[in-house]
Amino acid sequence: MNLWLIPVFPLAGFLLNGIFGRRFPKALINAVAVGSVALSFLWVLKTLSGLGSLDTAHTEHYFTWIQSGALNIGVDFAVDRLTAVMLMVVTGVGLLIHTYAIGYMEHEGGYYRFFAYLNLFMFFMLILVLAENFLLLFVGWEGVGLCSYLLIGFYFTEQFATNAGNKAFIVNRIGDFGFSLAMFLIVRQFGSLDFARVFGAAAALPVETSLGGITIICLLLLLGATGKSAQIPLYVWLPDAMAGPTPVSALIHAATMVTAGVYMIARSSSLFLHAPIAMDTVAVIGLATAFFAATIGLLQNDIKKVFAYSTVSQLGYMFLGVGVGAFSAGIFHLMTHAFFKALLFLGAGSVIHALGGEQDLRHMGGLLKKIPITAATLFAAGVAIAGLPFTSGAASKDLILEAAYAHAPWMYWVATLTAGMTAFYVFRALFLCFLGDYRGHHHPHEAPFVMWGPLAALSVLSLGGGFLSVPRWLEPMFPIHELEIDALIRYLPFAAGFLGIGLAYFFYVSRPQIAESLASSFSGLYKLVYNKYFVDEIYDATVVKPTVQGSRTLLWRGFDAGLIDGVVNGVGARARGVGSILRLLQSGSIRAYATWIVFGSVVALIAIGLAGGAR
């Protein structure tokens, strides 16, 4: 089925715009960038329609990459039911984001460079999804990390953007180190990195009840997923990644890079199901991240930062789902999240575009009448992420909550409380943005069709995407266990969502003075949450500064300048000292040379004579 064409189309777009884009008119740049992703999306549709049920994976081998003894690693692509879902999400939502970016980036510098990076990002994400072995997956994994650095730091003349790009790149290297170690252990234990061989061999092994080889492998894979999918303690890069253009936020934080960790864990379910300790760790980290990020989102005033922390929180829900064994629910939420979170970011971009770059919610208000299309689409995304009945968010998140209740009821209660907070802070942002009086200074204007068209499409998916029966589609890979859940447990998340919206309206529309009074009464707690618990400052004080200072004092001045340079320079100094003595013998005077020859001859003759007399 020529699977290689799926990632090659965006790669061709990257090469064309990257090499020749400086001389292309914008219309041609747009045609290359958007057209390449459209071709990839169409080829995905053609491929999936021609592969039938996908009860067994369709694999294509292209060439052998590494051959060492019994280890054989090829460049192989494979499509199964999980891959099919990911391909549709990545290329479908990616196409809408590329289209939106035409309008959003119209007046920005580096236009061709932006779309080249965006296409390269798509190429690496598709490599990640199509890979049939861990090493090729890791190529895509590292590639999206590189592209995130390029796109987050796109405004490289601004220090905050370059800092954010560096932060994303460095934090992800921590997780990637764990992934690398996991691959070494997989080779050691299974003798291969091919998914089919590794998972087939793992299925025949007993479940580990203690810290065994598979558990260690899964914990290291989790470390990699924690970095890529922004979970505690490596989540700190994602909120700062808002420094990039808004379409980047939508692509990276909704449909592609941050979902890679969830996809990798679901792909490795055969390993994780044999390591319950690792599974519980995944669930606890996910739940803790969901709750922790939601509390931070309650008080943020930057509209993109609000949605950034909601991304971290929703990724926590996905980790909770796969951690409690509901892999299909986790992937379903990955898909629905791509719809409503891409819509939230792109809608926020339309607000920012309408207000000439303003991102502070305190300088908005009253925009419902001024940009009604953007407002309608953002409210559609809001009800979806709040999990109101019949929306996509409700369909996927409730499956996770039910699985969490069956696994450990306390997880359900914490996750339901988090759902209420999610509804509160998302609608707080929407109410501050669209209701009340306008508090800004710019003259708002509605986005052009090239921007609101993708918003409208994502609105339909956000509201109706829950009717796509993805868990049933994935059932041959991840069996669904029917759970008997009380009606109260099943419907309580709906009540939490409505309560959160009602409280947001009460505090920020009906009685805003009460919110201000509470902020003053609990100023210490307010400052703590508003400043994100000072986690960045703690990392800076305990990790960054000691590392930098230690590198300067010990590695640079002590080891490099003191030891290495001291040895090298010392040898040079001794050589110069000896040379300064020996150079006295090289005066350039023939008379002096003759004198030394005569003197040497006399000394030699005397020595010979003395030696002969001694005999």
Distance from the Cα of residue 213 to its chain's centroid: 27
The answer to whether residue 154 scores a pLDDT higher than 80 is yes
What pLDDT does 254 receive?
A: 81
Per-residue pLDDT, averaged over 158-170, amounts to 92
The three-class DSSP label of residue 371 is coil
Quick count: other Cβ atoms within 10 Å of Cβ 387?
A: 27
Task: List, for residues 220-231, the tens digit of each pLDDT value.
Answer: 999 999 999 999
% helix, strand, coil for the chain, step of 5? 75, 5, 20
Q: What are phi and psi of 282, to 5 degrees?
A: -60, -45
Per-residue pLDDT, averaged over 20-36, amounts to 95
Per-residue pLDDT, averaged over 119-139, amounts to 96
Specify the amino acid at residue 79.
Answer: V
The answer to whether residue 133 scores a pLDDT higher than 80 is yes
What pLDDT does 422 receive?
A: 96
User: Is residue 249 exposed (0-12), middle (13-18) or buried (19+ Cβ within 10 Å)?
Assistant: buried
Task: Determine the Cα–Cα distance for residues 598 and 594; give it in Å rounded to an integer.
Answer: 6
User: Residue 234 domain-assigned?
Assistant: no
Whether 466 and 332 have beta carbons less than 8 Å apart is answered as no
User: Residue 584 domain-assigned?
Assistant: yes
User: Residue 592 domain-assigned?
Assistant: yes
Task: Determine the Cα–Cα distance for residues 476 and 470; give it in Å rounded to an integer.
Answer: 11
Per-residue pLDDT, averaged over 475-490, amounts to 84
Task: List, for residues 309-319, the tens digit of each pLDDT value.
Answer: 999 999 999 99
The two tokens of residue 80 are 């199964």
Task: List, for residues 217-267, the tens digit of each pLDDT value.
Answer: 999 999 999 999 999 999 999 999 988 899 998 988 887 889 999 999 999
User: Residue 554 domain-assigned?
Assistant: yes
Strand partners, 64: 74
The full length of the chain comes to 615
Per-residue pLDDT, averaged over 479-490, amounts to 82
Handedness of CA 420, 423, 426, 429 (dihedral sign): negative
Task: Determine the Cα–Cα distance for residues 282 and 439; give it in Å rounded to an integer.
Answer: 43
pLDDT > 90 fraction of the chain, expressed in percent and rounded: 73
Specify the amino acid at residue 31.
Answer: A
Task: Determine the Cα–Cα distance for residues 95 and 44; give it in Å rounded to an integer.
Answer: 12
In the chain, the number of structural domains is: 1
Task: Determine the Cα–Cα distance for residues 425 and 497; give it in Å rounded to an integer.
Answer: 11
The answer to whether residue 615 scores a pLDDT higher than 90 is no
Task: Determine the Cα–Cα distance for residues 261 and 400; give it in Å rounded to an integer.
Answer: 17
Cβ burial 109-137 (10 Å sphere, 16+ → b, else e):
ebbbbbbbbbbbbbbbbbbbbbbbbbbbb
Q: What are phi and psi of 81, to 5 degrees?
A: -65, -40
Interior angle at CA 359, CA 358 and CA 360, nearest 5? 105
Q: Which domain holds residue 553?
A: 537-614
What pLDDT does 469 receive?
A: 87
- 488 vs 429, which has greater pLDDT? 429
pLDDT band at 613 (very low <50, low <70, confident <90, very high): low
Q: What are phi and psi of 25, to 5 degrees?
A: -70, 160
Least confident of 128-132, 219-223, 367-371, 597-601: 597-601
The three-class DSSP label of residue 75 is strand
What pLDDT does 217 receive?
A: 97
What pLDDT does 560 receive?
A: 78
What is the full DSSP assignment across 579-605? HHHHGGG----HHHHHHHHHHHHHHHH
Least confident of 338-342, 424-428, 586-590: 586-590
The helix (run of H) or strand (run of E) holding residue 3 is none
Task: List, for residues 518-540, the tens digit of each pLDDT value.
Answer: 988 898 999 999 999 999 999 99
Task: Determine the Cα–Cα distance for residues 50 and 523; give it in Å rounded to an integer.
Answer: 61
Task: List, for residues 495-515, the tens digit of each pLDDT value.
Answer: 999 999 999 999 999 999 998
Per-residue pLDDT, averaged over 1-16, amounts to 95
The three-class DSSP label of residue 479 is coil
pLDDT band at 587 (very low <50, low <70, confident <90, very high): low
What pLDDT does 592 receive?
A: 72
User: Residue 573 domain-assigned?
Assistant: yes
The residue among 261, 591, 285, 535 whose CA lies nearest residue 411 is: 285
The two tokens of residue 185 are 């252990």
Residue the block writes with tokens 């350039």:
588
Specify the amino acid at residue 448.
Answer: P
Task: Determine the Cα–Cα distance for residues 89 and 41; give it in Å rounded to an integer.
Answer: 10
What pLDDT does 553 receive?
A: 80
User: Residue 251 domain-assigned?
Assistant: no
What pLDDT does 111 receive?
A: 93
Output 443-446 pairs: Cβ under 8 A, ≥24 positions apart. 444/354, 444/355, 444/367, 444/370, 444/371, 445/354, 445/370, 445/371, 446/354, 446/370, 446/371, 446/372, 446/373, 446/374
Handedness of CA 95, 98, 104, 106 (dihedral sign): negative
What pLDDT does 552 receive?
A: 81
Task: Determine the Cα–Cα distance for residues 91 and 84; give it in Å rounded to an integer.
Answer: 11
Per-residue pLDDT, averaged over 95-104, amounts to 95
What pLDDT does 404 receive?
A: 95
The helix (run of H) or strand (run of E) holding residue 287 is helix 276-297
User: Residue 541 domain-assigned?
Assistant: yes
The answer to whether residue 576 scores a pLDDT higher than 90 is no
The answer to whether residue 558 scores a pLDDT higher than 80 is no
Per-residue pLDDT, averaged over 459-479, amounts to 91
The two tokens of residue 453 are 């068209």
What pLDDT does 43 receive?
A: 96
Strand partners, 63: 75
What pLDDT does 153 receive?
A: 92
The residue among 236, 180, 327, 137 whose CA lies nearest residue 538 is: 236
Per-residue pLDDT, averaged over 355-377, amounts to 92
pLDDT > 70 fraction of the chain, expressed in percent and rounded: 98
Per-residue pLDDT, averaged over 153-157, amounts to 91
Strand partners, 131: 77
The two tokens of residue 186 are 């997989």
DSSP letter at 74 equals E
- 611 vs 567, which has greater pLDDT? 567
Task: List, for residues 34-73, the tens digit of each pLDDT value.
Answer: 999 999 999 999 999 888 888 889 999 999 999 988 899 9
Q: Helices (H) and strands (E) in the chain — how many of each?
A: 27, 2
The two tokens of residue 117 are 């990076």
What pLDDT does 398 receive?
A: 92
The residue among 243, 203, 11, 247 whose CA lies nearest residue 106 is: 247
Q: What are phi and psi of 63, to 5 degrees?
A: -165, 160
User: Residue 579 domain-assigned?
Assistant: yes
Task: Determine the Cα–Cα distance for residues 111 and 470; give it in Å rounded to an integer.
Answer: 37
Task: List, for residues 168-203, the tens digit of each pLDDT value.
Answer: 999 999 999 999 999 999 999 999 999 999 999 999
What pLDDT does 566 receive?
A: 79
The answer to whether residue 584 scores a pLDDT higher than 70 is no
The residue among 338, 255, 352 whose CA lies nearest residue 303 is: 352
The three-class DSSP label of residue 131 is strand
Specify the amino acid at residue 581.
Answer: I
